[in-house]
Structure 1
Amino acid sequence: MSVADRLKELGIDLPPPAAAVANYVPFMRSGNLLHIAGQLSNDASGGVKGTVGVDVDIDQAVHAAKLSGINLLAQMNAALEGDLDRVTRIVKLGGFVQAGPDFIEIPKVINGCSDLMVEVFGEVGRHARSAVGVYKLPLGFAVEVDAIVEVR
Structure 2
Amino acid sequence: MSVYDKLQALNITLPPAATPAAVYVPFVQSGKLLFLSGHIARKDGQVWAAQFGRNISTEEGKLAARAVAIDLLGTLHAATGDLNKIARIVKVMSLVNSTADFTEQHLVTNGCSELLGEVFGAKGVHARSAFGVAQIPLGACVEIELIAELA
Of all paired residues, the percent bearing the same amino acid is 42
Q: Give 3-state SS (helix, strand or coil) of 2:90's partner.
A: strand
Which residue identity does 1:112 align to in structure 2?
A: G
Please state how far the C-alpha of 1:15 moved relative to its aligned partner: 1.2
How far apart, in 2, do the equivalents of 1:137 and 1:109 lie?
15
- Work out whether residues 39 and 71 of structure 1, in 8 Å CA contact, stay in contact via their aligned partners in 2: yes
How far apart, in 2, do the equivalents of 1:57 and 1:51 lie?
9
Q: CA RMSD in A?
A: 1.0
- Work out whether residues 36 and 146 of structure 2, in 8 Å CA contact, stay in contact via their aligned partners in 1: yes
**Residue number in structure 1 paired with 2:99:** 100
Tell whether 2:113 aligns with 1:114: yes
Describe the superposition over 1:92-118 as per-residue Cα deviations: whole angstroms up to 9, x where unpaired.
Answer: 000010011211011000000000100
Which residue identity does 1:51 align to in structure 2?
A: Q
Which residue identity does 1:105 align to in structure 2?
A: E
Q: Give 3-state SS (helix, strand or coil) of 1:115's partner.
A: helix
Please state how far the C-alpha of 1:47 moved relative to its aligned partner: 4.8
Please state how far the C-alpha of 1:48 moved relative to its aligned partner: 2.3
How far apart, in 1, do the equivalents of 2:138 and 2:16 lie?
19
How far apart, in 2, do the equivalents of 1:47 and 1:116 lie?
20
Q: Give 3-state SS (helix, strand or coil) of 1:97's partner.
A: strand
- Work out whether residues 17 and 75 of structure 2, in 8 Å CA contact, stay in contact via their aligned partners in 1: yes
**Residue number in structure 2 paired with 1:127:** 126
Which residue identity does 1:147 align to in structure 2?
A: L
How far apart, in 2, do the equivalents of 1:21 and 1:74 lie?
17
- The answer to which of 23-32 and 44-53 deviates more is 44-53
Once the two structures are superposed, the pairs formed by residues 40-55 of structure 1 within 5 Å of their partners are 40-55=40-55
How far apart, in 2, do the equivalents of 1:144 and 1:36 lie?
12
- Work out whether residues 39 and 144 of structure 2, in 8 Å CA contact, stay in contact via their aligned partners in 1: yes
Please state how far the C-alpha of 1:45 moved relative to its aligned partner: 3.6
Describe the superposition over 1:107-151 as per-residue Cα deviations: whole angstroms up to 9, x where unpaired.
Answer: 000000000100000000000000000000011110010011001
Please state how far the C-alpha of 1:6 moved relative to its aligned partner: 0.4
How far apart, in 2, do the equivalents of 1:120 and 1:44 lie?
22
What count of residue pairs does the alignment treat as equivalent? 151
Describe the superposition over 1:46-68 as per-residue Cα deviations: whole angstroms up to 9, x where unpaired.
Answer: 25211012011111111111111
How far apart, in 2, do the equivalents of 1:150 and 1:106 lie?
25
Q: Which runs of 5+ in 1 are unaligned?
A: none
Describe the superposition over 1:53-87 as per-residue Cα deviations: whole angstroms up to 9, x where unpaired.
Answer: 20111111111111111111011000012x10000
Once the two structures are superposed, the pairs formed by residues 1-152 of structure 1 within 5 Å of their partners are 1-81=1-81, 83-152=82-151
Q: Which runs of 5+ in 2 are unaligned?
A: none
TM-score, length basis structure 1: 0.96
